[in-house]
Amino acid sequence: MPYYASRLLCRGYKVYWLKPMIARLKHRRLLWLLLLAGGVPAWFQFGRGTSGQESALDWFGVANAQESDVTPMGGDIIPLRQVTDPYPVFNGIAVDPVNNLVAMTDVNRKSIVSYDRSASAGARITPPRRQVFGPLTNIGFVAGIYADSEHKEILAVNNDIEDTMVVLRYDAQGNASPARILSIPHQAWGIALSRSHDQIAITVELQQAVVFYKRDAQSVTPPLRNIRGPNTGLADPHGIVWDDAHNEIAVANHGNFRGLVRDTGAGCAPTGTADPEGGAVLPPSITFYSGDAHGDQKPLRSIQGIRSQLDFPMGLGVDADHNELAVANNGDNSVLVFSRTASGDAAPIRVIRGDKTGINRPMGVAIDIMHNELWVSNFMDHTALVFERSDKGNVAPKRVIRTAPPGTPTPGFGNPQTVAYDSTRDQILVPN
């Protein structure tokens, strides 16, 4: 697949395009879309390439233009068209039955949205209780979320860009500043809290780790401890849940083990393991640890194998009263429910899957023991779903929360950072 890369300097510099890319574009106006997707500077010029090829202006029908004829453009340049989703798209989910609240992270509009726990949409958009968004919030590519009913705080983890955890009061609204911000490792995703330890645990994809902080930690505070190393079984960890009743932590792993390195101050060096930088693609898994675990400790047990049906597992929810663990199984549009003590190649005891369920690339799951309900946040259709805790099979949800009219498509953007054009298929490619 040809990408026809160009030399593109878009931060107040000239923009140079090599002839092959422009020549291959079927619709030259598409160039404007590509420029806008990469971030158009306040002004730009088209100049001659370093190889002496003719100016890119020639390809826009100004065949005889000279560089001296070029006038810098400015102002508010309107795109010819755009692909965008104007509605919130859910990522993580947390429910607080004590305060009648459910909250979701919104990775699309970069916000946190909360609702009354009993809210339902029917065929309409569900009015939120509150929505926090704006530059003061420090909310960006936001992922895992936890609702602290005791302190009435929402804790949310920024994943790929901001590298922070933000803490917001339940009554925060609009462009509100966080109550506190904690600097955390790059590519953190999931978050869990233990009342007995008064600590939070955060998964870190890049480091294959779980890091622990005091619940009220803020600013640049080092972790109290971590779980990390070749014996831990952590491989691209995402969802996490802390079972205080049994003093256990469960982690959902995608299986992309990237190898382990350490920062020497002048770059990365091997950690001394057998093949620390080799990496491996492993089957997805759920790994369990003591709530007091630290360092390179082996898991207490793991769920992994064909019978488990694990496929891109994301959020986790624990039901200590019924000894069950729920998994948002993103890869096959399902929720898997396992015995809390399951290990090895164990099959789930229940599965919610099918066209009636409305489950569509689930990202988060939460269990409300008080009301005997199971919540699921969808990534691909602007909904959060509520099931009976004991539901199984192809069953319809009892309630639905919607951020968009039913059937509204979403382009699936999460964290787009570049764009490419495939001239063979006449397609625009957007990696997330």
For the chain, 432 residues long, give each residue's pLDDT as a single digit of tens. Answer: 333 333 222 333 233 333 333 333 344 444 444 444 444 333 333 333 344 444 443 434 444 545 556 666 678 888 888 888 999 999 999 999 999 999 999 999 999 999 999 998 777 899 999 999 999 999 999 999 999 999 999 999 999 889 999 999 999 999 999 999 999 999 999 999 999 999 999 999 989 999 999 999 999 999 999 999 989 999 999 999 999 999 999 999 999 888 776 666 666 666 655 555 567 889 999 999 999 999 999 999 999 999 999 999 999 999 999 999 999 999 999 999 999 999 999 999 999 999 999 999 999 999 999 999 999 999 999 999 999 999 999 999 999 999 999 989 888 887 888 899 999 999 999 887
**Entry pTM:** 0.81
In sequence order, what are the residues at sequence separation of 6 or more whose Cβ sits closer than 8 angstroms to the Cβ of residue 93? 102, 103, 104, 105, 145, 315, 363, 364, 365, 366, 375, 376, 377, 384
DSSP state of 34: H
User: What would the two tokens of residue 47 be?
Assistant: 């100049």
Quote the CATH superfamily of domain 90-402: YVTN repeat-like/Quinoprotein amine dehydrogenase (2.130.10.10)
b/e map of 31-63 (b: 16 or more CB within 10 Å)?
A: bebbbbbeeebeebbbbbeeeeeebbbbbeeee
> 147, 153, 164: which is closest to 219 by C-alpha?
164
Question: How far lies 33's CA from each of 77, 80, 83, 358, in Å?
Answer: 11, 7, 10, 34
Among the residues of 189-345, which ranges form H helices?
none
Calculate the CA 226 to chain-centre distance: 22
Secondary structure (3-state) at 150: coil
Secondary structure (3-state) at 37: helix
Rounded distance between C-alpha atoms, residue 219 and residue 84, angstroms: 34
DSSP state of 295: B
Rounded distance between C-alpha atoms, residue 190 and residue 317, angstroms: 12
In the chain, which residues fall in CATH 2.130.10.10? Answer: 90-402
